[in-house]
Structure 1
Amino acid sequence: MKIGIIVGSQQKESQSAKVGEFLNSKLKEMSVETWTLDLGKTPLPIWDSNQTNENQTWSEFWGPIDSNLKSSEGFVVITPEYGGMASPAIKNFFLHAGLPQLGHKPGLLVSVSSGRGGAFPIHEMRASSYKNTKICYIPEQLIFRDVEHLINGGEPVSAEDSFIRERSVFALRILIAYSNSLSEIRESGVVYDPRFKNGMS
């Protein structure tokens, strides 16, 4: 099994990347193959409806990302909270990646906040990013609040640090179970009909 980790911060060095590395390490402890797309280190251009794979420069850039997304059976989607919103980078990602890459695959939403917030980006992502991509967000989610004081290596330094570490393992196990189950649904063929490739609104 392969799980893709999408880090939605626009900064080259970020707390979201720290969270991604932590979750990546936990998945590897569970013998899961992983792949990470850090949008701070590998920024995507602003989506343009005229972008096609006939553009060689774009094709060479997007091709490896496209391949890794398609071969992933589930996703961890991490977004920092910017002004109570999901990051522009993660929203832009969901315009580039669609049904062929994400469709009918489970996603674990993860929000990162430097303060006590973090809930609004989760609500935003659940409300808007699934319709045409048809990613299947699982009911579990993670919010890393006061993230600078969490998962900094070594033993937990607080009750909250212990809690989020344990909750993360719990959530990742659920993601893996959904990944196993949804692969059977995709393989059945019932989810594919060219007449209904977009979600209904």
Structure 2
Amino acid sequence: MTDTPVADDARHAQKMAKKKAARDKIMASKEGEKGLVIVHTGPGKGKSSSGFGMILRCIAHEMPCAVVQFIKGAWQTGERTLIETHFADLCQFHAMGEGFTWETQDRARDIAMAEKGWAKAKELIRDPGIRMVLLDEINIALRYDYLDVNEVVRFLSEEKPPMTHVVLTGRNAKPELIELADLVTEMTLVKHPFRSGIKGQPGVEF
């Protein structure tokens, strides 16, 4: 004999009530707050997009924030246009890069630009009035040793204000950075239209 829809609904409600009680018990034990070090890495798409999503959340909460772009500075992206046009009072935007390394083909210049970006990043992170700083594509600068990962880790460990969130994006995050971070997400690649001959498009890639 099969169960009636009423019996199914009652069983579902009972199951959800138990789940809610267990969830409420877990949440009751989570009271602490702190400024997080957040890393988005991996070969899949969405690392910068996720970081900018957090920046827009900060803007919505009227929390002062800032962006430092280490690689894509030569691009006029949708995120940059939106922030600079409508939210410049809440979010500082600093495009410090000149493009991907295979475009500049000048290691000394890439290092100089990365160091300039890191100097600006430290200035912003040290400012206790700024609640979140997004370091977009800094992991690429670290991967190519344009910046010293030990210096980045030391600074975040010792000088970041306690309630400031710092988000670091880019594939191939260094192990030292992953070890330091409070939250690490690895984007995995399943399919990408680029492999089918589709170029990067506004609203999707930039």
TM superposition score category, shorter chain reference = 0.3 to 0.5
Q: Which structure carries more relative contact order (alpha carbon 8 Å, separation 6+)?
A: 2
* Greater gyration radius: 2
TM-score by length of 1: 0.37
TM-score by length of 2: 0.36
